[in-house]
Amino acid sequence: MLYGERVTLRPFRADDLPAMRSWFRDRAVTRNWANHPVISDTLFEADLTGRFASFDRDGHFAVDNEFGELIGRVDFDELDPIDRTCELSIMLGAEAGRGKGYGADACHTLLEHLFSDRQIERVWLSVIDWNAPAIRLYEKLGFVHEGRLERTIWLEGGWHDLLLMGMMKTEYRRRSESGQVAAKVDR
């Protein structure tokens, strides 16, 4: 388990499945991830003993708030031990978890783990161009815009751009040492 200021990142449990299913059925939640449905209901059980149980190349964490309530998930994918890079993603499925700094705290906690414990040098992510709250969060965390894949995603009847953002370990350390940690910025 990983502990942030107000969140705990932990492995998924069987009792998380109903909440996760409801998030993935909610188009207001999944519209910022991909086409609907993102994952079929039957795959969640297999994920518990499969990809959610391993924290090697990929790591999928449940995000609990300070009251022990499941509010979302934060993941790293495609961790490359040679290039020392990986992709980060986050979903706050519980409406009560949004807009309160939990996303920043969860990302900061995972970034600290990746840069310190896993010796990653660069973390990157992609975000749909219309997801302004996520873009603001990533910028506050210290991610910089690295590119734009134009008209690469077809959603809700139209083409949309995918923004690519990245952060180097050196920039993360500089921001942390100067007190610019995102968990504090968002509150």
- Give the domain extent around 125: 2-185
More confident of the two residues 27 and 105: 105
CATH number at residue 53: 3.40.630.30
Distance CA(162)–CA(89), nearest Å, equals: 14
Q: Is the pTM of this model over 0.75?
A: yes
Q: How far apart are CA 8 and CA 109, in angstroms?
A: 9
* Structure token pair of residue 176: 């942390």
Written as six digits, the tokens of 62 are 């449940």
Q: Give the ranges where the chain is alpha helix by DSSP (H).
A: 17-25, 27-30, 43-49, 102-112, 132-141, 169-177, 182-185
- Residue 121: pLDDT band by 50, 70, 90 thresholds? very high
Alpha carbons 88 and 107: distance in angstroms, whole number: 8
Q: What is the largest CA-CA distance in the chain?
A: 46
- Residue 179's pLDDT is 77
Average per-residue pLDDT for the chain: 85
Q: Is the pLDDT of residue 40 over 50?
A: yes
21: which residues sit within 8 A by CB, 6+ positions away?
41, 44
Q: How many domains, in total, are found in the chain?
A: 1
